[in-house]
Structure 1
Amino acid sequence: MEALASEAETLVVIVDGEPTTRDALKCRLTAAGHSAVAFSSLPRLLEAVLPDCATCYLIDAWLPGALEFQAYLRERGLRRSIVYVSRGGDFVTGIRAMKNGAVDFLLKPVGEKALREAVNLALDRDRMRRDVDRSARQTMERVAKLTPREWQVMGAVAFGKLNKQIAYDLGISEITVKIHRGNLKRKLRARSVGELVRLWEMLPPNLRKFKTEGGQT
């Protein structure tokens, strides 16, 4: 198994059954400044432990299980940026791959410009996905620290209610509402009501409903 650089900021994973093509792609990508690793099959890829970084998968569409690999990832809740490469004229496979979420579908022999643009696009998409996922995880970690009352106040603020209305609805004083709002801003690192509302809207609707109705996890 090929050694993988754990410090890589981005990675291109090549999966191709043809040794010549596999080695050529790796050389071209390395020369272009990318960290790249290569595997001869999808089972070999699945045995590997890859660095935790933005990754583009460059996969030969003719490999056994190549297109099914997208469904395999989806079933496990994994989203990956995949670029398929294939022998010329394979339009039906290309359409299927793109419908299933592939970033691009390239025909062999792959031109330098097409390869560069497809790989860069895949890496950009994976960076964005990772940023969104990271932000969502951080938000969930912060909201997990909220008390049941803070959840109720947050929901009320998100619906545009004033302190006086919130106090009446919850049977508490306006001063207590202000204290809860201050705690919300501190715990969620929100600098304004607008940020509180955006964080609220990022949360799953079923979680918002459960929490504001006094549910516990």
Structure 2
Amino acid sequence: MTAHAPVPPRQSPPATVVFDLGNVLLTWDRPRLYRDRLPDAAAVDHFLTTVLPMDWHATLDGGREWDEALAERIALYPQHEALIRAYRTHFSETIPDAIAGTVDILEQLAGAGVPLYALTNFPMEVFDETRDRFGFFRHFRGIVVSGYEKMMKPDPAIFRLLAERYDIRPEGAVFIDDLPANVAAAEGCGFTGLHFTGPEKLAADLARLGLPA
């Protein structure tokens, strides 16, 4: 993991803040879905490494249709059909809650009138279901979702799409993400990147930039 240097102070605060969702505002825990469906942690790890690996999940983030993606894995592992289908029908179990400290920061920024946006790698359909579960989504003026756009972070194209669609000046915007590769991609597109490791550090980073947190 690449370490990022401390965020330097600015002469004026950024005008806009862009949030990632998973493991920034929302807890995302894939193993949680299978802890009560498989006998132990080793079995869960094996299932998610072999049957539904992250590179397969990434195709959903990239816009692949769920039916097609599930059918592929069922054909390979027919003995696990019920468990594979559960990934879609019970996907909400992988997102048990919001990260309260980050939601507090989001609400402080919203209360101060800071324009807020989201840029997320997220599969189609389950994004809409997730948005309906959490009230903090009302604070976003716009959201770019990889599954609908069929492009994903850290591809610079999705950052450019965000900026163009919502008339965001990257040099006047902050982008927050838990993955260093995505932070680096945002910085390459002109955003100030903040690597999220927890709400307390995020609040300190935003305050250093002159933003309320």
Q: Same fold (TM over 0.5)?
A: no
Task: Give me the TM-score of the superposition, normalised by structure 2.
Answer: 0.30
Relative contact order, higher structure (CA 8 A, sep 6+): 2
For the pair shown, which has the larger CA radius of gyration, 1 or 2? 1
